[in-house]
Amino acid sequence: MKLNPKNYEEYWSRGWTVVEGVFPAKATDEIIEVATAVCIEELKEPDQSSYLADRTEDGQASPRKIAKPFLKHPKLRAFAVNRNLRSLIAQLVEKPPLLVGDQVFMKPPQIGSAKPYHQDNAYFLCHPDDDVITAWIALDDVDEENGCLRYINGSHRGGIVPHIPVPGEPHNKAPAEKDIDLTRQASACVKKGGVVFHHGTTLHTSHRNRSKRWRRAYATHWVSADTTSERDTIKNGYFNAESALYEEVLTASKTA
């Protein structure tokens, strides 16, 4: 899939860009079906923390997130390493991409929780920053009403800013308010099957889903072969920790 030069310019000037039509509706519908089945099973587990589930006012749990979906179903693996997706990433960062991690975000209707402003690379601590990219695949039409991503344009140029734990939310960290210039905030609305690509240090958030629609997305995180990390991000990346499985999926994607 050929990248539009406009998307390249947007990515490097503001830190993010939207490419529509990367995945057909049939493919996204299949992933929704698989992800929903995985969520149903995981919600049977004793851990019903706010990391895995959002709750209605009467305490009913609804799926919030799947951690490491790549490891949980072959269809999720194949979707994550889609050839078109990898080609677009390679054109954006000008290096072959390696999948380091992923999540599926469900954000259920009316109760899907907000995610505070943060930088992905504040969690990953990878270097160089320019080799870290997230491809956020929309599984539904996404707009401001159901919780689209919102970015601080140009924030990728400032490197990683300090993040502190969010009280009462052990899985969240966020920068101080002084480090978030809301005058440069922009919304990334995207159609089902489209992808929002953002730089590893671009500040981004998503608000609560106040609509009656789902806002599901598959987020994949990528680095290059040159990337190092202060943490175990690279060591535990799929291309390392699950190298045999990863190569098997890549090989299958070449003939699919």
- Antiparallel, parallel or unpaired: β 61-63 and 53-55: antiparallel
Q: Which pLDDT value is given to residue 49?
A: 66
Q: Which pLDDT value is given to residue 168?
A: 86
Three-class DSSP category at 202: coil
What average pLDDT values come out for the chain (256 residues) when binned by 10 residues?
97 98 98 96 76 80 92 98 98 98 97 96 98 98 98 97 92 94 98 98 97 98 98 98 97 83
Alpha helices (runs of H) in the chain, residue ranges in sequence order: 5-14, 25-42, 74-80, 83-93, 120-124, 238-241, 243-255
Q: Which pLDDT value is given to residue 61?
A: 82
Q: Which pLDDT value is given to residue 256?
A: 65
Q: What is the pTM of this model?
A: 0.96
In the structure encoding, which two tokens stand for residue 18, read together? 């939207």
Neighbours of 94 (CB within 10 A): 11
For 19-164+172-255, CATH gives 2.60.120.620
Map out the domains of the chain as residue ranges: 19-164+172-255
Instruction: Give the closest residue to 36 by CA, choosing from 70, 56, 64.
Output: 64
